[in-house]
Structure 1
Amino acid sequence: MKKLIKFSLLVLWLGLSVPVDAKVTLPKFFSDNMVLQREMSISVWGNADKKETVTIEFNGTTKSGQAGKDGKWKIELPPMEYGGPFQMTIKGKDNTVTFDNILIGDVWLCSGQSNMEFNLNSAKGAEEAIQKSANKQIRLLTVPKTIQTEECEDIPSGSWEECNPSTTPNFSAAAYFFGQALEEELDVPIGLIHSSWGGTDIETWTSWQAAMENSDYSSYKGKTLEKSLGYSMKDIERFKSSMQTDKGIKEKWFAPTYNTTSWKKTHVPALWEGSLKNEDGVVWYRTEVTLPESAESQVGSIQLGAVDDEDITYVNGKQVGNINFWMANRNYHIPAGILKGGKNSLTVCVKDNGGEGGFLASDDQVYLEVGGKRYPLAGEWSYKPSVLSSTFGFKGTGSGPNGFSSLLYNGMIHPLVGYGIKGVIWYQGENNAGRAYHYRQLFPLLINDWRNQWGYEFPFLWVQLASFMAEEAEPGGSNWAELREAQNMTLRLPKTGQAVITDIGEAMDIHPRNKKDVGIRLAANALKIAYGKDVLGSGPVYQSMAKEGNKIILSFTNTGKGLSTQDKSKYKYVKGFAIAGDDQKFVWAQAYIQGDKVVVFSDEVKNPVAVRYGWANNPYDNNLVNSDGWLASPFRTDNWKGQTEGK
């Protein structure tokens, strides 16, 4: 009996559609308000009693099918033109399921890491965008975050919603602006399926079958993912449950009166090390800061830098901040009435879901500010873990989404396979920048994998890495430039496109708030690649180089009516170029537009052999555009060994 109860609980937790009462059921993403893909066969599927006849009525079409011995059924409806709203009924022998307010249009899957997850409520111009977001022609579906060690047939929860001010604030900003731009241009219903997780590697989004083509996983060929991992969903479930019911919250470790004399000491800011190295889980930190009497009743702020992955921050027992994704800068407002003269307690609960955990900042980036004065917080803090992955049998980072290949594909992509989509937009890469050279293999692998899973070659569009980190004083190597190069190289695949956004990055924040331009640029790509519109869609593309004395002449494609600069300078000076001779030492170069070409030179290099454009972590001032104003991607003419090759 106990085994039966445990199995039932696990089935519920996984969110699988298992017919326990012989009624017709469907995955949760078949719901009211959904958008079905136009102009292609429409697949509808679910579970019923074995060999039960299931009948679908939709938009003037009636079709029936029979469930197999396993209780699974699937019915194909004919291609249909856009329109709606329609009603769909699915009839079995004992019940009828009805879905209302269905549209036929174009469905886009929107996936990636935190910049895709970044919600509209946090974006630049959020208030106005949300107020104007009511549009019954756009429908939204968010796939809940879930790690799965086996391929799932359904998502844990969720349903389609109409686009309006009550549904858009927590939806992906980039996806929303993309859908808005498309609907405005095409006047066709748009369905947006948002399935992303911040701080994730591309490997976790790739199927286990395709992972065998990744050199990092090829040794597991012939084994299941769980066999390769050495643990199962039951172990992960126990760990995640402990994180959600953290005893530190229950026992109020944040209270100033809580006794921390037994806690260990460590330096903050720092990543987890020593006994915490390779752990996931929850760790609490405590320190005190002494303030003058004048601080009483004043407002203040606390700066912690970035925290990996999540934090809840308390001052004198009062919560002042909470961010649940990694790398965002923690700069929290302290309302009046919390600070006091004398000793003030500061408590930070850090939750790490996978990979490294802790504080990512330099000592001078961690401080409390009140009354115009900064009080340093870097130094020795007390700490105590409340949940550690090693307690549950995990080694390394196994409990997080990056612990192994395919953990997010299984629960967040695979259930959707077969649901008709027009294409995919993808915003990821930051997490793979340290091994950018390997991304040359991994990115095409994922694209081909998803296309193989769906069974057709849909358009796949992505956002290139934005500018990030401090401006470089001199030309040099760059992991982020190498990742952008890997993204550029992936354009060799058919029906692919890229939005270049080096001009809208933020040096101190990996999450640029301008997501409207991201969506607009993705939509421009879609109009050209997915819809065949006569537009440029994206920026100039480097084609070839020729040497003339001490100058290098560059040629480009996709220029439209000609090259220009983003600032429309009459002098047509192009920023962002570096040039080098045989010694491979790059110096900043002068560059100008001459007809449909760019001339690059430097008095310091008499015999140039190579040119690089925007080859930096933060090429914020790149300004080469085509006649439609789209930016050129960073590129290089050489193939010299980069920083990440061999990693």
Structure 2
Amino acid sequence: MKVRSIFNRIIPGRLATHGGWMFGILMLGSALSVRAQQTAQPALRFADVLTDNMVIQQNKPFTVWGKAGRFEPVKIEADWLKTAVVVQADDHGDFIGIIPVPKVQPGDFSEHTLQISSGTVARVVLQHILLGEVWFCGGQSNMQSPVSDILDGKAEAAQADYKNIRLFNAALNFSNTPLDNVKGQWMACTPQTVEKFSAVAYFFARQLHITLDVPVGVIFSGIGASAAQAYVPRAVLAADPLLDSAYLQPYLKSEKSREVIDGGFSFEKVTRPFLLYNAMIHPFVKLSIRGFCWYQGESNRNERGGYTHLMHTLIQSWRSNFGQGELPFYFVQVAPFFWDQENPDLADYAFFREAQANILRLNNTGMVLTMDVGEAKDLHPKNKKPVGIRLALTALHQTYNRLSVVYQGPQMKTVGFEKGTAIVTYIPETIAGGLKTKDGASPKFFSLAGEDGKFYAAEAAIVGDQVKVSSSKVKRPVALRYAFTNYAVTNFENGNGLPAVPFRTDSWREQK
């Protein structure tokens, strides 16, 4: 429609006075505004998770997606590609394309550009991109705890000048439906940017960067106090009878499910099923990554086999939705804590840690221990550096095939009972450097039980590559436990300083 024809319609000759002309001009502006809104196309842009300074996963196909005009062609160009990839936006203006990404050599920290264009004018360029390794980190407060809050955090932050490590901190949000957008920005790691970033994720990334000598990008997307069911898609929960009845249906039948969902935090909201998945995991599912790191469990601590099943379901759903095969999933076992009950014999938290250990039954998973770096009366122990490093050691061994990297502490192989003494042998590859204690004292937190099922603290001694355990109160032991109580902060480790794995030889039911 021509402007003059609109003008003629809304300004008849009899209104051609000063006031009439003003009325006509206002009406013309309104009509043009309506027409502009009807014909406006979405601005050309990358998806929210694709920004300047990002790391793109090397040696994998990389998905480029975002918004453009409806049905408009979009040209994707990268400075490492000889030819562009051209795709077409759909009727919602969404476009998606896949480009190859080369393998980088150690020491290659070249910066790259990625560009999209549509038509003859519209063009958006991402700059300062690196090619390297990308990991996705999630969980609750012990994963969220920033560098500024940890042991020696100020000094660690001051030294964190690693321009080839890139950090993405996803802003908190909740949603009833899966979102494609998330607030956040890739940033180079500096003393300033790392202060409020996940300490565990940072130390993990730093260890990989130093060892592999390639760029590393690490994403944190999680929130303190969150429960695992909050990170599982609704349809996945609904399809599983156990999870549906335990988590989904109680929520859907509650008044809470009828509330208007916004991005505000509450301790209750972070436990609701599927809301965090929709807002904080789903926006990343098209992104190429190497694997996942996870530190969560305190909010599900009263669960046992159900938690193991929930985590298996979470892992499998994430792997399926990210669509990159059986991605590695490395998690942290919760640290010792007394839960305001000063009784050294209580073991309910130990049974939960056992439920976490059973996650390892799923392929391509790994578990990091915190038994030696926990604090019995602090749910958020400050010594986070070893946790991140241990996650990195696990990834180096299992994902990057650095088989000489020791990543496990002493793991029980067999327990035999001879003349009132329990003799523990360990899997040979887990006792690199031999068996020792960090303080030179005897190994702590071994306990023995006889046929009556009552456990007593026992004396333990390292004898070569074995540990011998006995107690004057148990003449005929039939069961042995190690560090199987709520807040046992351990001293027993291998020569590489990795803590021994808690265990029990009995299969007795937990006493409530």
Note whether the superposition's TM-score is higher than 0.5. Answer: yes
Supply the RMSD in Å over aligned alpha carbons: 2.6
**Which residue in 2 is equivalent to 1:442?**
310
- Asked whether 1:74 is paired with 2:96, we answer yes
Distance 1:472 1:187, change over 3 A: same
Report SS of the residue matched to 1:444: helix
CA distance in 2, matches of 1:508, 1:473: 9
Q: Give matches, 1:455-534, under 5 Å.
A: 455=323, 456-469=325-338, 476-533=345-402, 534=404
Please tell me whether Structure 1 or Structure 2 has the larger radius of gyration of its CA atoms.
2
Q: TM-score, normalised by structure 2?
A: 0.84
Q: Give matches, 1:396-407, under 5 Å.
A: 400-402=269-271, 404-407=272-275
Aligned residue type for 1:200: S
Q: Deviations over 1:582-612 (max 9, x none)?
A: 2110001112233333222212112211111
Structure 1 residue 232: deviation in Å? 6.7
CA distance in 1, matches of 2:345, 2:295: 26
Structure 1 residue 495: deviation in Å? 2.1
Aligned residue type for 1:182: L
**Which residue in 2 is equivalent to 1:118?**
145
- Asked whether 1:40 is paired with 2:60, we answer yes
Q: Give matches, 1:387-426, under 5 Å.
A: 400-402=269-271, 404-426=272-294
**Which residue in 2 is equivalent to 1:597?**
466
Report SS of the residue matched to 1:45: strand
**Which residue in 2 is equivalent to 1:559?**
430
CA distance in 1, matches of 2:44, 2:249: 31
- Asked whether 1:100 is paired with 2:13, we answer no
Aligned residue type for 1:637: T
CA distance in 2, matches of 1:225, 1:153: 27
CA distance in 2, matches of 1:225, 1:584: 37
Report SS of the residue matched to 1:413: helix
Structure 1 residue 195: deviation in Å? 0.7
**Which residue in 2 is equivalent to 1:540?**
410
Structure 1 residue 225: deviation in Å? 11
Distance 1:60 1:561, change over 3 A: closer
**Which residue in 1 is equivalent to 2:177?**
150
Relative to total residues, which structure has the larger helix share, 1 or 2? 2
Aligned residue type for 1:159: Q
Equivalent in 164, 173, 176 of residue 202 of structure 2: 176
Q: Deviations over 1:210-239 (max 9, x none)?
A: 223555542599x999966667787123x9
**Which residue in 1 is equivalent to 2:225?**
199
Number of aligned residue pairs: give it. Answer: 464
Q: TM-score, normalised by structure 1?
A: 0.67
Q: Is the 8 A contact 2:226 2:299 kept in 1?
A: yes
CA distance in 2, matches of 1:603, 1:473: 25
**Which residue in 2 is equivalent to 1:639?**
507
Aligned residue type for 1:603: S
Distance 1:45 1:480, change over 3 A: same
Equivalent in 307, 322, 341 of residue 454 of structure 1: 322
Aligned residue type for 1:120: V
Report SS of the residue matched to 1:512: coil
Report SS of the residue matched to 1:439: helix
Structure 1 residue 643: deviation in Å? 4.8
Q: Is the 8 A contact 2:166 2:216 kept in 1?
A: yes
CA distance in 2, matches of 1:577, 1:75: 57
Q: Is the 8 A contact 1:430 1:465 kept in 2?
A: yes
CA distance in 1, matches of 2:379, 2:128: 39
Q: Is the 8 A contact 1:551 1:599 kept in 2?
A: yes
CA distance in 2, matches of 1:469, 1:151: 38
Distance 1:410 1:517, change over 3 A: same
Report SS of the residue matched to 1:235: coil
Aligned residue type for 1:41: P
**Which residue in 1 is equivalent to 2:28?**
none
Structure 1 residue 507: deviation in Å? 2.4
Could you tell me which runs of 5 or more consecutive residues in structure 2 were left unpaired when the two chains were aligned. Answer: 1-38
Could you tell me which runs of 5 or more consecutive residues in structure 1 were left unpaired when the two chains were aligned. Answer: 1-18, 241-351, 356-399
Bigger shift: 477-486 or 556-565?
A: 556-565
Q: Is the 8 A contact 2:168 2:218 kept in 1?
A: yes
- Asked whether 1:549 is paired with 2:462, we answer no
